[in-house]
Amino acid sequence: MCDKTRSEIIMHIGAHKTATSFIQESILENLAEIDRRGAHYLSESRKDIRFFLSGSHPFEPNRIANILNSDLQCGRINIFSDEDSLGRASLRRGSSVYPNISDVISRIKSIQDYIGLNFRILFSIRSYVDFIPSVYQQEIKRGCCGYSFSEYIEKRVSIDNISWVPVVSELSNNFKGDLTVWDYEKFRTDPCSIWSQFGLGDSFCNFISNNKSKNKISNKSLSKDGIDILTLLYGKLDKDTHRKLERLISRALSKSPGHPGFYTWSESQKYNLISRYSNELDLIKVILKKNNSKFLCVTRD
């Protein structure tokens, strides 16, 4: 019987393009150290959990509970990390970045009831000026888009309506003090404060830093040439061939991880997006504070 008083599940569910791949690959590269710190990464059940939460598979809470129970380690912190659990980020349907967030939350709570353990939810957000180009890159890599960036903005992005607030509000209203949200800039400038949210201790960040030569983070941004090639090939290849070619192109024509600098916003677009995100951060702080949820962000003057 699992000692439920000493066990919990930390669910890192995104958002996309906020260093989630870096976090996941860093965990996989340091499993022995994570085990030494009394934690366990739910790698065996990760894919099944993602499919059930995102709605890719019919939701059967008793079945996913059994799958999760087989991977859980009692008396430990169990870590789950997969941004695709939320489904694909949407920049054009309504105002929410994740239109299906209500369904995902309902599924998480159903699993929580079956398992009977405490769940802590981790979620991150990012400035629209950087987030939108990163999602565009992802769409290109997956073969879901054949537009140039300017065409993508015009035809697929509801630039005046996109908002993190509906997602954060629903998460906070449902998980209260068991929710932690952070701004991507906080992770970029103070990663140790974020790693501590995974229950691994502040020093785990230093451990990763000292062993970073061992980490081979593969999620690099495409160069402009890589984007141009994949755009030209859009719709001409089957899905598997496209993904294989994308991996080859990514290795040959890529930049270091992070947002490449060749995307251009008009001055008005950039100003509006930066201003709106700044205002939303203030609103998000209020929402999270009301529900005793935690918010980590860079202090602004």
Q: Output the CA torsion sign for 54, 10, 133, 259.
A: negative
Q: What per-residue confidence (pLDDT) applies to 127?
A: 95
Checking if the pLDDT of 299 tops 90, the result is no
Note whether residue 273 is domain-resident. no
Output the CA–CA distances (angstroms, integers) from residue 65 to 2, 71, 232, in the order listed: 14, 10, 44
pLDDT tens by residue, 241-260: 988 888 888 878 777 655 55
pLDDT tens by residue, 179-190: 999 999 999 999
Evaluate if pTM is beyond 0.75.
yes
Report d(CA 123, CA 293) in Å as an integer. 11
pLDDT tens by residue, 3-37: 555 578 999 999 999 999 999 999 999 999 999 99
Checking if the pLDDT of 297 tops 50, the result is yes
Note whether residue 240 is domain-resident. no
Q: What per-residue confidence (pLDDT) applies to 4?
A: 54
- pLDDT band, very low/low/confident/very high, at 214 (cuts 50, 70, 90): very low
Report d(CA 112, CA 141) in Å as an integer. 34
Note whether residue 249 is domain-resident. no
Output the CA–CA distances (angstroms, integers) from residue 100 to 38, 150, 220, 236, 250, in the order listed: 34, 27, 28, 30, 30
Q: What per-residue confidence (pLDDT) applies to 263?
A: 73
Q: What per-residue confidence (pLDDT) applies to 34?
A: 95
Average pLDDT, the chain: 88
pLDDT tens by residue, 153-208: 988 898 888 899 999 999 999 999 999 999 999 999 999 999 999 999 878 988 88
Checking if the pLDDT of 273 tops 90, the result is yes
Note whether residue 186 is domain-resident. yes
pLDDT tens by residue, 49-90: 999 999 988 888 889 889 998 999 988 999 999 999 999 888
Residue 81: domain span:
8-128+162-217+278-296
pLDDT top residue among 221 and 295? 295
pLDDT tens by residue, 217-234: 556 778 888 888 888 888
Note whether residue 239 is domain-resident. no
Domains contained in the chain, number: 1
The CATH number of residue 69's host domain is 3.40.50
